[in-house]
Amino acid sequence: MLKEWMNPQKPEPEELAERLGAARERLARQQMQIKEKKLPVLVLVEGWGTAGKGSIIGRIIKNIDPRFFTVAAMEEPTEEEKRKPFLYRHFARIPEGGKFTFLDSGWMDEVVKERLYGGMSDEDYEARIGSIRRFERQLTDNGYLVIKFFLHISHEEQTKRIEKLWDSKDTRWRVSKDDMWQNEHYKRCRGAFDSYLRSTNLPSAPWYIVDAKSAKWAELQVLETLTQGIEIALNNSSMAVPLLQNVFPLEKMPLLAEIPLDKTVDIEEYHKELKRLQQRLGELHNRLYRKKVPVIVAYEGWDAAGKGGNIKRITGALDPRGYEVHPIASPEPHEKARHYLWRFWTRLPKTGHIAIFDRTWYGRVMVERLEGFCSENDWMRAYNEINEFEKELSDWGAVILKFWVQIDKDTQLYRFNERAATPEKQWKITDEDWRNREKWDLYENAVNEMLQKTSTTYAPWYVLESVDKRYARLKALRIMIEDLEKVL
Amino acid sequence: MLKEWMNPQKPEPEELAERLGAARERLARQQMQIKEKKLPVLVLVEGWGTAGKGSIIGRIIKNIDPRFFTVAAMEEPTEEEKRKPFLYRHFARIPEGGKFTFLDSGWMDEVVKERLYGGMSDEDYEARIGSIRRFERQLTDNGYLVIKFFLHISHEEQTKRIEKLWDSKDTRWRVSKDDMWQNEHYKRCRGAFDSYLRSTNLPSAPWYIVDAKSAKWAELQVLETLTQGIEIALNNSSMAVPLLQNVFPLEKMPLLAEIPLDKTVDIEEYHKELKRLQQRLGELHNRLYRKKVPVIVAYEGWDAAGKGGNIKRITGALDPRGYEVHPIASPEPHEKARHYLWRFWTRLPKTGHIAIFDRTWYGRVMVERLEGFCSENDWMRAYNEINEFEKELSDWGAVILKFWVQIDKDTQLYRFNERAATPEKQWKITDEDWRNREKWDLYENAVNEMLQKTSTTYAPWYVLESVDKRYARLKALRIMIEDLEKVL
């Protein structure tokens, strides 16, 4: 990219000023349309040290109302962030619909540095490039405008800038160690940048190389490219994108109708076993805390299937400082305004911790599908997006357990009626539950498709037969123990 | 890709038959919608030798009316094709809107073979991958549905198939040398396939790996993916795509208004020089014929600027067996129904030949832009698409000369009036010419933008000052001679 890239012709000062004025006005106008159309705009500004990333962002945002944008400067990952998957802090920063996020360097900077002097192996680098390509593709597939700039200056220019900053005590602090290292190893860095730019130059999220020698001229290049990209995105209303082939190893799952639900457990046996299993899980919890293994437990199932009680038996065994339960309801407005996985990315556990989700990201292919909250292309794409999401977690080292809590239609009716008749349980049963029940067959269909398409070897689904809730609880505990023992 | 790819679960025979029936019907229905919406569908079927590429295409097309599809089997390039650029024969085969083209292997097969045992260098291979990515991106950007299948069989399965074919005299001929070679070097081939698949796996034209062990099952995978892709494409009406940054080396061009038009040549001097230059060009024509250098000359300019007369002075010097003049008018329906560059790709000269275009592919950014024959995104994208096109020609070894024949508005008026008043010249002046003249300023603007954005070092624009037509003719000859001398 850098080798091919040709310095566009810098206009004369008069023309430059004129075009700058026009581009600034255009951006100011566009911010309102962006808001109206709820377009999320992610602007990634990468580039050489001292190329002026921060200053260019400063110039651009002058044209935008502060309510409509955020600027995030990439820092070294915090201790907290280091205990999350690589993409976590990047995913967490994506804008909501109708707003801009400007990133003063981002995932490129992080990965290339690790490659250049962080001791990252070629294999890990390739894997990271894969993650990044999937990440950016997921954003654009889900309607994000992703615009990526690389601010380019020559070796000579960088040297000059560093020397100038160094000359004065007031500015010396602005020369970072990274800048110095880059300058000393300019050619090697250029090679690494180049290879990164090439392998992440996606048609839907292409790179733009900016001649950053003159600040105004750089601003013009960024503004004109940005406003052009925005215009194109504004004109594209919901567009469908190709569905990708599954590349993840799937486990064969039975259809729900094929699963016998007559399994029970004797009540005495239950109490004895519960105690034994909980004690064992408690031990394992300590061990995974020490070994820093993150664990993600996902619960889905029919209304009144017994998810809550099942989760309680798990958490009953755990040290409260080491787990969190996330009850998932309809998304809040600020969550709905972002990629549907955002609210799950931001709720991931730290290494050594357990996160339990009471309902999950699988809402996309169940309720959102059936209630028409997303387009057909959206939910059909979601199987792959979710497999990619869980692969990211698995590659990070997480143990992922997914439970489908299964009952039959009659059992549900019985429990609904029981809830309705029991004053202290009435809050548990709503009109929506009854309405969902009417769509049982549609849901069963959707659940079957979900189980077939997302039960990967690294994040398998387990069906918990929960007509006898106690049976289901013991089974959940046993599976969890077994899976944890494998990694501990 | 092949390593990651997971064999999807083959359904039981009953389900398979049912789904096959449904998918076939769906495709049969879709062909009418494809016709209505004028969607062009390019289906590339690649894969291992004996994987059944031909047979699967045979099964698929049974569901489509023969008027709506073409099947092309990739053969070794003919001697004629070898004298064209690599992409020529592939570009020539793209379907028109509303129709399918099925390719029984294509550019993948060609490139991977050359890499495996054609002695292609890594560098050439990388360049070819670049060409292919640009080619496929140009197709999808211009509204093509491109679906790519790779039929996969295991080493064991391939061995079995080859042995079986070999066993009978009636089928032995079907085992090709390539099949044998592949089978002997299965692992090496798999590596080469894998690397190709990865580097051409574009989000807008992704690869689908098909488990080709069972013919019916393979048919189902292809049919379901194909019909799904078609449905998505049918639902997307004209969508705009990001404009890519220029990566080609540009030459600084003056604005038309800055070019002095007072250059003239004495008539005696003209005749003397014309004779001398034509003789020289004639010699060079012989030489480039022997050296097999292809030459492409593109003429654009104002109506009545003198393009025709200028071209005559060039062709007057050439051996008629070694050149062709292509007058370019509005596209015919079958041309309009394809990528706008198709009618130029198919008119390229052979090596050693000269093709002269009287009006060109630049119509996209002049008349098509100004008359609204394409969308704004279309013509804005075209500068890059054209630079890519000419780069492809230049990398192939072509000399590319582009002449803009320039006059001022008064000269045009004078010539129009003269034509109108001269009976034998009246055919040369139409109402359209007058209408275009009214848009002079808009055209001037568009021409200036075109000259700025497409005057690359490998395919520069030359302005021919043609108020004195004789001056312009000599200048064209001189430039052509000079540029040819550089390469001969």
How does pLDDT run across A250-289, given as a tens digit for each residue? 999 999 999 999 999 999 999 999 999 999 999 999 999 9
End-to-end CA distance of chain A: 45
C-alpha–C-alpha distance, residues A28 and A7, integer Å: 27
Give me the residues paired with residue A299 across strands: A358, A403
Question: Which residues on chain B are in Cβ contact (under 8 Å) with A1?
Answer: 247
Cα-based distances in Å from B167 to A42, B156, B162, B172: 61, 17, 9, 7
Q: What integer pLDDT is reported at residue A183 of this predicted model? A: 97
How does pLDDT run across A409-455, given as a tens digit for each residue? 999 999 999 999 988 888 888 888 999 999 999 999 999 999 999 99
Question: Which residues on chain A are in Cβ contact (under 8 Å) with B208?
Answer: 245
- Tokens (6 digits) for B415: 């010539």
Question: Which residues on chain B are in Cβ contact (under 8 Å) with A37?
Answer: none
- One digit per residue, pLDDT tens: chain B, 488 residues? 787 777 667 899 999 999 999 999 999 999 999 999 999 999 999 999 999 999 999 999 999 998 899 999 888 888 889 999 999 999 999 999 999 999 999 999 999 999 999 899 999 999 999 999 999 999 999 999 999 999 999 999 999 999 999 998 888 888 999 999 999 999 999 999 999 999 999 989 999 999 999 999 999 999 999 999 999 999 887 788 999 999 999 999 999 999 999 999 999 999 999 999 999 999 999 999 999 999 999 999 999 999 999 999 999 999 998 999 999 999 999 999 999 999 999 999 999 999 999 999 999 999 999 999 999 999 999 999 999 999 999 999 999 999 999 999 999 999 999 999 988 888 888 888 999 999 999 999 999 999 999 999 999 999 999 999 999 999 999 999 999 999 98
C-alpha–C-alpha distance, residues B36 and B28, integer Å: 14
Closest Cβ–Cβ partner in B140, B236, B242 for A229:
B242
CB atoms within 10 A of CB B145: 24
Contacts of B294 (CB under 8 A, 6+ apart): B83, B348, B349, B350, B351, B352, B353, B354, B355, B393, B396, B397, B398, B399
CB atoms within 10 A of CB A304: 23
A452 has a chain B CB within 8 A of its CB: yes
Per-residue 3-state assignment (H helix, E strand, C coil) for chain B: CCCCCCCCCCCCHHHHHHHHHHHHHHHHHHHHHHHHHCCCEEEEEEECCCCCHHHHHHHHHCCCCHHHEEEEECCCCCHHHHCCCCCHHHHCCCCCCCCEEEEECCHHHHHHHHHHHCCCCHHHHHHHHHHHHHHHHHHHHCCCEEEEEEEECCHHHHHHHHHHHHHCCCCHHHCCHHHHHHHHCHHHHHHHHHHHHHHCCECCECEEEEECCCHHHHHHHHHHHHHHHHHHHHHCCCCCCCCCCCCCCECCCCCHHHCCCCCCCCHHHHHHHHHHHHHHHHHHHHHHHHHCCCEEEEEEECCCCCHHHHHHHHHCCCCHHHEEEEECCCCCHHHHCCCCCHHHHCCCCCCCCEEEEECCHHHHHCHHHHCCCCCHHHHHHHHHHHHHHHHHHHHHCCEEEEEEEECCHHHHHHHHHHHHHCHHHHHHCCHHHHHHHHCHHHHHHHHHHHHHHHCECCECEEEEECCCHHHHHHHHHHHHHHHHHHHC
Tell me the pairing of strands B461-465 and B69-73: unpaired
In angstroms, what separates the C-alpha of A215 from chain B's closest C-alpha? Answer: 19
Task: Check B232 against A225: CB less than 8 A apart.
Answer: no
CB atoms within 10 A of CB A431: 7
Q: What integer pLDDT is reported at residue B163 of this predicted model? A: 96
**ipTM greater than cut 0.85:** no
- Tokens (6 digits) for A403: 């439970």
Give residue limits of the domains in chain B.
13-235, 256-487
A203 has a chain B CB within 8 A of its CB: yes
Per-window interface: A 225-284 vs B, CB < 8 A: 225, 228-229, 232, 235-236, 239-250, 252
Q: What integer pLDDT is reported at residue A147 of this predicted model? A: 97
How does pLDDT run across A390-420, given as a tens digit for each residue? 999 999 999 999 999 999 999 999 999 999 9
Task: Check A208 against B241: CB less than 8 A apart.
Answer: no
CB atoms within 10 A of CB B208: 23
Whether CATH 3.40.50.300 fits A256-487: yes
As to burial, measured by CB atoms within 10 angstroms (0-12 exposed, 13-18 middle, 19+ buried), residue A420 is: middle
A206 has a chain B CB within 8 A of its CB: yes
When scoring B137, B245, B380, B457 by the number of chain A Cβ atoms within 10 A, the one with the most, hence best to mutate, is: B245
Task: Check A203 against B202: CB less than 8 A apart.
Answer: yes
Count A/B contacts: CB-CB distance under 8 Å: 93
B423 has a chain A CB within 8 A of its CB: no
C-alpha–C-alpha distance, residues A429 and A412, integer Å: 11
- Under CATH, which number does the domain A13-235 receive? 3.40.50.300
Task: Check B245 against A9: CB less than 8 A apart.
Answer: no
Closest Cβ–Cβ partner in A1, A141, A232 for B242:
A232
A6 has a chain B CB within 8 A of its CB: yes
Asked whether the domain spanning A256-487 has the same topology as the one spanning A13-235, the reply is yes
Closest CA to B470 of B402, B409, B405, B417: B405
In angstroms, what separates the C-alpha of B185 from chain A's closest C-alpha? Answer: 25
